[in-house]
Amino acid sequence: MELQFNANWGPLSGIGLPFLDLKSAVELAVGAYGWWKARERTRSLEQVLGSAGCQLSVCSTFDFARYISRCVLPVS
């Protein structure tokens, strides 16, 4: 079996990918769709946060002491 797709992007115009069985073709398609869906969800989250004036950052940049000093009210 051979699966082929066509794209109009220079060297990618008409790539044929040979597969040994149908299961491989299905797994590739499902994996690509899952990757695309996760990418779109990330973009949506970034847009929602950006509209509120926020942004995503890596966990290593989180300053826990600063968070506690700004968010936790002193106990009386």
Q: Each residue of 17-47: pLDDT tens digit?
A: 565 577 777 777 788 888 888 888 888 888 8
Burial of 19 (0-12, 13-18, 19+ CB in 10 A): middle
Do the Cβ atoms of 16 and 23 come closer than 8 Å?
no
- pTM for this one? 0.40
Q: Where are the domains of the chain?
A: 2-71
Give residues with Cβ within 8 angstroms of 18, minimum separation 6.
1, 2, 3
Tell me the residue type at 71: C
Do the Cβ atoms of 4 and 17 come closer than 8 Å?
yes
